[in-house]
Amino acid sequence: MKTTDPVTLDKGTYLADLEPGQSFGPALFAVRSVTDRGEETRAPQLVATLTDCTQPGGRIAKVWQADSHTRAALKVGQIVQVWGKVDTTSPWAGELTLERVEAIAQPDDLSEFLAPPPEGYTRAWKEFCRLIRSVQNPHLAELLKRLLDKQSQCAFADAVAARGHHHAYRGGLLQHTVEVAALCEATCAVYPYLCRDLLLTGALLHDFGKLTEMEHGLAAGAFTAEGCLIGHVHGGALRVREVAVGIKEFPLPLLNALMHLILSHHGEGAFGSPKAPAFPEAVVLSQCDRLSAHTTAMHEAICKAPAGQTSLWHQGNWIYTGDLGDTPRPALPLLSSACLESQGAQESTTPNNFATARCIPVRGLVAAGRGEESAEYSEETLTVVPPEEGADYLVRVTGDSLQGAGVQAGDLLFVQQHATPRPGDLVVAWLPGQGGVVKRFAGDRLESAHPDYPPIPLTEEVRIQGKVTGLLRPL
């Protein structure tokens, strides 16, 4: 199959910019799906869905007469260079007709072809980490630590939660998981007899099997062989059991209860649940999962409704899309590809504060106390999702002078170099004869949150090396 070096090519036209009657090409798009109708048909022989960052939901593209070269090029997950036009006649108005297709070697940077992540992603990530840390049962905490390691957490960062029903966008699995776990946590306040640690662990892991059930890159939503043959419910439960049996003295009743939460979280056999909920925590998890899925799906449909339309046929029902009288529906953040498409190209291509997981160096230790404990250099790196303000490196904290500010020994701090601190910001500074310290910037001095450590005047010898933009507490 012929390929072209993508380094010599520009992206070309974006899908959101294509208007009826317009010719285009060369332009680069990703192939999300393909239907081959065969050789003998009056309909288009190939029907594909092409995507890019401006229309992650994709646009329909047709090939009326497809030779073997075109069939080989149009594969799910492939980057293609295409030429064609936008149809103007019914019933194909707005769809693309492809006249030439070439397969392209996949570039290292796929940002032009992947869907923008949802707004609020960074907040969801922080909540995800908080919920994991909040589980106190030592066996369940160890299980979460092993299952949600660096690799799995990075996979959560980009994973979709479904093919199309709900949270079917990059970062959707994280968003859905956090919603379900937060709902379960809130329910524990109403029903104090619930086992919080068991319920939250089940919520955090209920869709763990989706990491391997579906593809999560250019072919996001396509089922893998494991997805077709096993599915995420059984696959997730099997993976949990596999890891749990390797934890010393993991109680069998606790493992059986956790597996039941995963196996019953769809609630009914008609919805793909091999077991019906058999104890209160399982009932809560199945209802919270349903609440997150259906509320989000309906919200996405409302966002997609044309302006002024008050009703919309959605999944077998009419839903109301109008205002709520004296209590107008608040303007909610864009959450999915459906929402992005409904807003048009101008908003859907606007950059947001999402930062994908990347490898960040750890610059040794800084002291939240006396600087003689610090060490500036280290060869260690971590793959993490930086905070919204960004980060150039991480430092590991020793000492106790900032415990009053919520910083503990062993914490990792995100640091942005060359940022101008404001009073109240945490900063990393270098002190002559002592080394690196982390303190709170107070204009003309550096302060600790511990009474045993006096303020440090800002003199010419004190160098502020960076501003702290976030905290990462290892599990």
**Measured distance CA(54)–CA(168) in Å, rounded:** 16
Structural domain harbouring 408: 358-472
Residue 79, in any domain of the structure: yes
How would residue 196 be classed by pLDDT, with cut points 50, 70 and 90? Answer: very high
**Measured distance CA(103)–CA(77) in Å, rounded:** 11
Is the domain of 89 the same as that of 222?
no
Taking alpha carbons only, the member of 291, 139, 82 closest to residue 203 is 291
Is the domain of 394 the same as that of 462?
yes
Q: What is the pLDDT of residues 147-157, one digit of tens each?
A: 988 777 777 77
The 3-state DSSP class for residue 6 equals helix
Residue 340, in any domain of the structure: no
- Residue 308 Cα distances to 42, 254, 311, 322, 344, angstroms: 38, 52, 9, 7, 16
How would residue 235 be classed by pLDDT, with cut points 50, 70 and 90? Answer: very high
Active site residues: 401, 439
Q: What percent of the chain is modeled with pLDDT above 90? A: 27
Question: What is the overall mean pLDDT for the chain?
Answer: 79
- Residue 207 Cα distances to 124, 159, 214, 232, 404, angstroms: 16, 11, 11, 7, 37
DSSP state at residue 40? S
Q: What is the pLDDT of residues 25-71, one digit of tens each?
A: 899 998 888 888 776 566 788 888 888 888 766 788 999 888 888 98
CATH number, residue 86: 2.40.50.140
Is the domain of 156 the same as that of 284?
yes
Cis bond upstream, residue 91 (ω within 30): yes
How would residue 131 be classed by pLDDT, with cut points 50, 70 and 90? Answer: very high
Is the domain of 30 the same as that of 129?
no
Is the domain of 200 the same as that of 289?
yes
Q: What percent of the chain is modeled with pLDDT above 70? A: 78
pLDDT computed for residue 253 by the predictor: 94
- Residue 125 Cα distances to 89, 121, 135, angstroms: 45, 6, 16
- Residue 178 Cα distances to 100, 126, 189, 272, angstroms: 44, 10, 17, 22
Judge whether residue 7 has pLDDT over 80. no
Quick one: CA torsion of 134, 171, 176, 59, rounded to 10 degrees? 180
Is the domain of 160 the same as that of 261?
yes
CATH number, residue 432: 2.10.109.10
Residue 345, in any domain of the structure: no
Domains of the chain: total: 3
Residue 303, in any domain of the structure: no
Is the domain of 176 the same as that of 62?
no
CATH number, residue 143: 1.10.3210
- Cα 187 off chain centre by: 25
Burial class of 157 by CB neighbour count within 10 A (0 to 12, 13 to 18, 19+): buried
Record the pTM.
0.59
**Measured distance CA(338)–CA(304) in Å, rounded:** 6
Residue 439, in any domain of the structure: yes
Which residues on adjacent β-strands are paired with residue 317? Answer: 314
pLDDT computed for residue 350 by the predictor: 29
Judge whether residue 182 has pLDDT over 50. yes
Q: Say which residue, 223 or 84, is predicted with more confidence.
A: 84
Is the domain of 138 the same as that of 99?
no
Is the domain of 92 the same as that of 129?
no
Is the domain of 37 the same as that of 158?
no
CB-side neighbour CA atoms (13 Å) of 250 = 20
Rg of the chain over Cα atoms, rounded to whole angstroms, equals: 26
Is the domain of 42 the same as that of 140?
no
How would residue 244 be classed by pLDDT, with cut points 50, 70 and 90? Answer: very high
pLDDT computed for residue 227 by the predictor: 84
In the block, which residue shows the tokens 């396509």? 222
Task: Among 78, 104, 130, give the residue marking a domain's end.
Answer: 104
Please measure the distance between the N-terminal and C-terminal CA atoms of the chain and give it in whole angstroms: 47
Task: Among 273, 295, 317, give the residue marking a domain's end.
Answer: 295
Residue 233, in any domain of the structure: yes
Q: Say which residue, 410 or 337, is predicted with more confidence.
A: 410
Cis bond upstream, residue 474 (ω within 30): no
pLDDT computed for residue 83 by the predictor: 93
Task: Among 76, 104, 132, give the residue marking a domain's end.
Answer: 104
pLDDT computed for residue 201 by the predictor: 96
Spell out a b/e string for 330-353, using b for 16 or more CB atoms within 10 Å of the CB, else e. Answer: eeeebbbbbbbbbeebeebbeeee
> Span 10-20, mean pLDDT?
84
Q: Say which residue, 146 or 355, is predicted with more confidence.
A: 146
Is the domain of 427 the same as that of 468?
yes
Tokens of 210: 């989706």
